[in-house]
Amino acid sequence: MMGERQRMKTPSKGLMSKIESFYERYPGENFGFAAVALLILTVGASIILYMRVDPTFSFFTHYVSGLGGPPKGAPEGVRYLSATVYNLGMLLAVPLRIAFLFQVIILVKRNGAGLWLSRASLVTGLVSSAGWLLMALVPFSADLDLHMIGALVYFLGATSFQLTFAVTELKMSGLPKHLPILGLLNLMVFCAFSYQLIQVEVLQIPGIPEPAIYEWLVFASAILWVLAHGLYSLKAREVSATKI
């Protein structure tokens, strides 16, 4: 019985060792930097193309996710270049997100993170990536119900990940405190956006403005989180190299 359990554990350990070996040879923070560059360029280009159809674009009235569908006031059933660029960029960002997820998991693991917190962070991070993938594959203009399922999976995964990972980092005495603080900031903004969105879209409470700016804040805080963890990983790698 003990032999069977040992054989069951070996493959997962072997796989994780291979992943860690890969990240020792290739700087994993580069995946995060690539994702940030891709998302900023994608969103920037989409805004420029979007404004050619809807010049009233504003961060206070237009959602980030709105770039993936027809511009406001434009006819539906038409392919818009702004939406194509946006959805393609979101799709290409998925493998970069997952690759950087493994990098930050390895980072906290090497700093003494517990096994269960590391696994919980990995699982919730993969769940959020699955939701992101579904939203990118199925824009809201193509199938609103399926897109909203993806949005719900992404929300549950992302908020669970940020909470779990922030707790994990707070337990690490060797990590700078601004890293978990940025995670908690992203979590708070995400929850504020979701709360406002439910009031406007679901409960339809009159007098409440659309929370478009909150979604942009979610986007910005997520970018900051990735950059902060990427820069810390880079610094840790450089320090480790000087000790060899």
The full DSSP string for 134-178 is HHHHS-TTT-HHHHHHHHHHHHHHHHHHHHHHHHHHHT-TTS-TH
92 lies in which domain range?
Answer: 27-234
Only one residue has tokens 């060899």, namely: 244
pLDDT of residue 130: 94
pLDDT of residue 55: 95
The answer to whether residue 5 is domain-embedded is no
Q: How far is Cα 242 from Cα 237, in angstroms, rounded to an integer? A: 9
The answer to whether residue 10 is domain-embedded is no
Statement: residue 172 has pLDDT above 70? yes
Q: How far is Cα 213 from Cα 217, in angstroms, rounded to an integer? A: 6
Query: pLDDT of 100-159, one tens digit each?
Result: 999 999 888 887 777 788 889 889 999 999 999 999 888 877 888 888 898 889 999 999
Other Cβ atoms within 10 Å of 168 Cβ, number: 24
Residue, of 205 and 43, whose pLDDT is higher: 43
* Residue 129 in tokens: 């990536």
Statement: residue 56 has pLDDT above 50? yes
The answer to whether residue 242 is domain-embedded is no
Domain count, the chain: 1
Residues 6 or more apart in contact with residue 12 via CB below 8 angstroms:
none
Statement: residue 243 has pLDDT above 90? no
Residue 45 to residues 33, 39, 81, 109, 129: CA-CA distances in angstroms? 18, 10, 10, 37, 23
The answer to whether residue 134 is domain-embedded is yes
Contact 7, 217 (CB under 8 A): no
Residue, of 164 and 205, whose pLDDT is higher: 164
pLDDT of residue 13: 56
The answer to whether residue 125 is domain-embedded is yes
Structure confidence at residue 199 as a pLDDT band (50, 70, 90): confident
Length of the chain as a residue count: 244
Statement: residue 201 has pLDDT above 80? no
Q: What is the DSSP letter of 200?
A: I
pLDDT of residue 92: 96
Statement: residue 10 has pLDDT above 60? no
Q: How far is Cα 206 from Cα 29, in angstroms, rounded to an integer? A: 45
The answer to whether residue 11 is domain-embedded is no
The answer to whether residue 4 is domain-embedded is no
Arithmetic mean of pLDDT over the chain = 86
pLDDT of residue 221: 95
Q: How far is Cα 242 from Cα 134, in angstroms, rounded to an integer? A: 43
Query: pLDDT of 65-98, one tens digit each?
Result: 999 989 988 888 888 999 999 999 999 999 999 9
Statement: residue 7 has pLDDT above 50? no
Give me the sign of the Cα torsion angle 177, 180, 186, 187.
Answer: negative
Structure confidence at residue 2 as a pLDDT band (50, 70, 90): very low
Contact 105, 118 (CB under 8 A): yes
pLDDT of residue 180: 93
CA atoms within 13 A on the CB side of 87: 20
pLDDT of residue 25: 80
